[in-house]
Structure 1
Amino acid sequence: MKRAVPFLLLPLGFLPAFAADIPGGGITPDHLSRHVRVLASDAFEGRAPATAGEEKTIAYVVDELKKAGVQPGGERGTWTQDVPLVRAQVEGAVSASLRIGGETQTLTNGDDVVLQSLSPVDRVALVDAPLVFVGYGITAPERGWDDYKGADLKGKVAVVLVNDADFETDAPGAFDGRAVTYYGRWTYKYEELARQGAAGVLIVHETAPAAYGWATVRASGLSPVFDIPRPDAATYHTLLRGWMQRDLAVSLFKRAGLDFEMEKRRAQTKAFTPVPLGDATLSAAFDVERDQVVTRNVIGRLEGAQRPDETVIYSAHWDAFGIGEPDAAGDAVRHGAVDNATGVAAVIELARVFAAGPRPQRTLLFMALTAEEKGLQGATFHAANPLMPLAKTAAVLNIEMLSPDGPTRDIASWGKGRVSLENDLKRVAEAHGRTYSPDPNLEAGFFYRADHFAFARAGVPAITVGAGLDRIDGGVASGKALRDAYFARCYHQPCDAWTASWDARGQAQDVALLYALGREIADSDTWPHWLNGSEFKAVRERSETERK
Structure 2
Amino acid sequence: MKSGLLCGVAFVIGAMPLMAQTAPSHFEAARIAGHIETLASDAYEGRGPATPGEEKSVAYISAKMAEAGLEPAGDPKAGGTRAWTQDVPLLRSENIGTPTISLTEGGTTKALAQGEEIAVRAPLDGTKAINIKNVPLVFVGYGITAPEKKWDDFKGVDVRGKLIVVLINDADFETGKGDFGGKAMTYYGRWTYKYEEAARRGAIGTLIVHESKPASYEWATVKNSNTNVMFDIVRDNPKASHAPVEAWIQRDLAVQLFRASGLDFDGAKKAAQTRAFKPMPLNATLSIDLTATSGRIVSHNVVGRVAGATKPDETLIYSAHWDHLGVGLADAKGDKIYNGAHDNASGVAALIEMGRAFAKAPKPQRSVLFLAVTAEEKGLLGSEYYATHPLYPLATTVGAINMDGIQMNGPAKNFSISGSAKLGLLDDLIAQGAKAGRTFTPEAHPEAGGFFRSDHFPMAKQGVPAISFKGGNDLVVGGTAKGEELAAAYTKDRYHQPADEWDSKTDLTGAVQDLDLLFGLGEQLANSREWPQWSADSEFKAARDKTATARK
Bin for the TM-score computed over the shorter chain: over 0.9
Corresponding residue of 1:494: 498
8 Å contact from structure 2 (residues 166, 208) kept in 1: yes
Q: Determine which of 457, 462, 476 is the counterpart of 1:458.
A: 462
| Residue type of the alignment partner of 1:446 | G
Corresponding residue of 2:489: 485
- Find runs of 4+ consecutive structure 1 residues off by over 6 angstroms: none
Corresponding residue of 2:3: none
Corresponding residue of 2:148: 142
SS in structure 2 at match of 1:244: strand
The reply on whether 1:225 has 2:230 as its aligned counterpart is yes
How many angstroms apart in 2 are the aligned matches of 1:253 and 1:121?
A: 31
Shift of 1:328: 2.6
| Residue type of the alignment partner of 2:367 | T
Corresponding residue of 1:472: 476
Corresponding residue of 2:83: 78
Q: What CA deviation, in whole Å up to 9, does each residue of 1:202-258 have, x standing for no partner?
A: 000000000000000000011111111222113321111100000000011001000
Q: What CA deviation, in whole Å up to 9, does each residue of 1:169-210 have, x standing for no partner?
A: 1x5110000100000000000001100110010000000000
Corresponding residue of 2:295: 291
Name the TM-score, length of structure 2 as normaliser: 0.96
| Residue type of the alignment partner of 1:34 | G
- Worse-matched range after superposition: 438-447 or 320-329: 320-329
The reply on whether 1:154 has 2:187 as its aligned counterpart is no
Corresponding residue of 1:59: 59
Unaligned runs of 5+ in 1: 21-25
8 Å contact from structure 1 (residues 14, 505) kept in 2: no
Q: Determine which of 182, 193, 207 is the counterpart of 1:177.
A: 182
Alignment of 1:91-102 (within 5 A): 91-102=96-107
Q: Determine which of 522, 542, 548 is the counterpart of 2:546.
A: 542
- Worse-matched range after superposition: 386-395 or 326-335: 326-335
Alignment of 1:249-328 (within 5 A): 249-278=254-283, 280-328=284-332
SS in structure 2 at match of 1:63: helix
SS in structure 2 at match of 1:19: coil
Corresponding residue of 1:23: none
Shift of 1:29: 1.2
Identical aligned pairs, as a percentage? 48
How many angstroms apart in 1 are the aligned matches of 2:484 and 2:398?
A: 33
How many angstroms apart in 1 are the aligned matches of 2:431 and 2:357?
A: 22
SS in structure 2 at match of 1:231: coil
Alignment of 1:160-171 (within 5 A): 160-169=166-175, 171=176
8 Å contact from structure 1 (residues 87, 292) kept in 2: yes
How many angstroms apart in 2 are the aligned matches of 1:125 and 1:331?
A: 32
8 Å contact from structure 1 (residues 317, 340) kept in 2: yes
SS in structure 2 at match of 1:372: coil
How many angstroms apart in 2 are the aligned matches of 1:519 and 1:75?
A: 26
Shift of 1:323: 1.1
How many angstroms apart in 1 are the aligned matches of 2:532 and 2:163?
A: 44
| Residue type of the alignment partner of 1:462 | A
Shift of 1:12: 4.7
SS in structure 1 at match of 2:136: strand
Shift of 1:422: 1.5
Corresponding residue of 1:368: 372
Aligned pairs, number: 540
The reply on whether 1:115 has 2:130 as its aligned counterpart is no
8 Å contact from structure 1 (residues 18, 432) kept in 2: no
| Residue type of the alignment partner of 1:413 | I
Unaligned runs of 5+ in 2: 1-6, 77-81
Q: What CA deviation, in whole Å up to 9, does each residue of 1:371-398 have, x standing for no partner?
A: 0000000000001110110000010000
Shift of 1:15: 6.8
Name the TM-score, length of structure 1 as normaliser: 0.97
Shift of 1:47: 0.5
How many angstroms apart in 1 are the aligned matches of 2:308 and 2:408?
A: 33
Corresponding residue of 1:204: 209
SS in structure 2 at match of 1:7: coil
Corresponding residue of 2:94: 89
Shift of 1:370: 0.4
8 Å contact from structure 1 (residues 350, 511) kept in 2: yes
| Residue type of the alignment partner of 1:387 | L
Shift of 1:443: 0.5
